Amino acid sequence: MASKAPIYLDHAATTPCDPRVVEAMLPYFTQKFGNPGSRNHRYGWESEEAVDTARAQVAALLGADEKEIIFTSGATESNNIAIKGGAYMYEKAPAGSASRGHIVTTILEHKAVLDPVKRLMKEGFDATFIEPGPDGIITADLVKAALRPDTILVSVMWANNEIGTINEIPAIGALCHEKDILFHTDATQWAGKMPVNVEKDNVDLLSMSGHKIYGPKGVGALFVRRRRPRVRLQALVDGGGQERGFRPGTLNVTGIVGLGKAAQIAKDEMDKDATRLLALRKHLEQTLVTRLDSCAINGHLEKRLPHITNVSFGFVEGESLMMAVSEIACSSGSACTSASLEPSYVLKGLGVGDELAHSSLRLSLGRWTTKEQVDHAAERIIASVTKLRTLSPLYDMHKEGIDLSKVEWAKH
Ligand code: PMP
């Protein structure tokens, strides 16, 4: 008997394509297959027109001008172009300093930001990685305290992909503008879910991705501000000059059409989706925390995306928990690095201990998640955690009121 498909609660990892997106893309595989760079015939013109439409759709989602949108292969590439391209363009070595310039970012960023910054450090730039408090929020004050006279770039994600916390982006942007420092935000989890206005939000560079907003994988965008200030970037790849030279190469027309359509739908349906998902997420959290003791929601309780929650369950073992909830497709607080399971650096960054990080689940809801699915998932989790705890002597001790932090364990 074929097993039932798991309930998909991993929308922060990726989303299914909206059928309206697929429909918009289809003609561009077979009939309208021209290269938008072909200036001499209809095939080229119609592809170019489709790219222009998508550019307008993405610009409208961000409150940007069409000329400020660069199409890329996804948020990883957008982040690399923004961070490395920005650092190379704005590098300045103050008199007597060996550093090529200072970058401020945070320990909670995705690897697609951390790794470009680490590469820049190997190349002679300095960096500060801000550590938040236990609520996981990066505030403008934290950024302010990290700035130096030689800071050239600040990169802070809009919302965190593991815990959904929302950082103080407009205020951080205002601070950077006041100090003439370039400001990049990785908005992969935010754009398309919550409102963006790059003017009001004081953003210079913004990364986003198609597959997080019910569009296709392998396509994304980078907003590059053209006025007040006009941002310049050094291209990382050389070639045919497409995308104002920032990202040369024949455009992924089908993907771009899909991203554009996904952006348009997101803009139109954002409020409706966010309201529904917030109610569903609160219901899920409420069910878990009222029916299970020793479970905690990670990150700030209010300043969070509507659709993501991250819950730690005490007195269960991480791998057993993941196995027990295999009917639910979700993420754990463990990341596979080479052969071993490492606790999530984001949860560790909030001060969550290794054990508890391993026994955490990220549950992220999406456009087609139903209340029935959420209820079913909650029941599965509650039953699994309860069962696993019957195997835990520590849980028994905890129930008997023994303070486990004071227990002296025998050493072998
Ligand atoms: N940044 C964040 C915050 C993300 O969540 C992701 C995807 N997990 C990325 C960057 C990378 O995006 P992409 O898959 O489009 O390269």
pLDDT in tens, 74-97: 999 999 999 999 999 999 866 667
pTM: 0.96
Q: Is the CB of 189 under 6 A from ligand 1?
A: yes
Tokens of 324: 């027990």
- The mean pLDDT of 383-409, rounded to a whole number, is 87
- Helix runs in 226-352, H state only: 253-291, 318-324, 345-349
**What type of residue is 80?**
N
- Helix runs in 123-161, H state only: 140-146
Top mutation candidate among 77, 165, 209, 346 for ligand 1, by most atoms within 8 Å of CB: 209
The alpha carbon of 118 and the centre of ligand 1 are apart by a number of angstroms equal to 17
Of the candidates 244, 252, 248, the residue with the CA atom closest to the CA atom of residue 223:
244
176 is catalytic: no
The number of helices, as runs of H, and strands, as runs of E, in the chain is 13, 15
**What type of residue is 392?**
S
Radius of gyration (Cα) for the chain, nearest Å?
23
- In the chain, where the domains are located: 19-266, 270-393
Give the angle subtended at the CA of 215 by the CAs of 214 and 220, to the nearest 5°.
Answer: 125
Of the candidates 25, 43, 41, 23, the residue with the CA atom closest to the CA atom of residue 33:
43
Q: Is the CB of 264 under 6 A from ligand 1?
A: no
Asked if 358 and 332 touch (Cβ cutoff 8 Å), the reply is yes
Per-residue confidence (pLDDT) for residue 66, from 0 to 100:
98
Handedness of CA 384, 303, 182, 106 (dihedral sign): negative
Class of domain 19-266: alpha beta
Which entry of 17, 176, 330, 336 is annotated as an active-site residue?
A: 336
Q: Which atom of ligand 1 is nearest to the CA of 78?
A: 16
Asked if 196 and 166 touch (Cβ cutoff 8 Å), the reply is no
Burial (CB < 10 A; 0-12, 13-18, 19+), residue 174, is: middle
Top mutation candidate among 10, 115, 188 for ligand 1, by most atoms within 8 Å of CB: 188
pLDDT in tens, 23-77: 999 999 999 999 999 999 999 999 999 999 999 999 999 999 999 999 999 999 9
- Where does 270-393 sit in CATH, by number? 3.90.1150.10
What separation in angstroms does the CA of 4 have from each of 111, 244, 324, 388?
33, 48, 15, 23
Q: Is the CB of 155 under 6 A from ligand 1?
A: no
The alpha carbon of 210 and the centre of ligand 1 are apart by a number of angstroms equal to 10
Per-residue confidence (pLDDT) for residue 95, from 0 to 100:
67
Q: Is the CB of 10 under 6 A from ligand 1?
A: no
**Does residue 411 surpass a pLDDT of 70?**
no
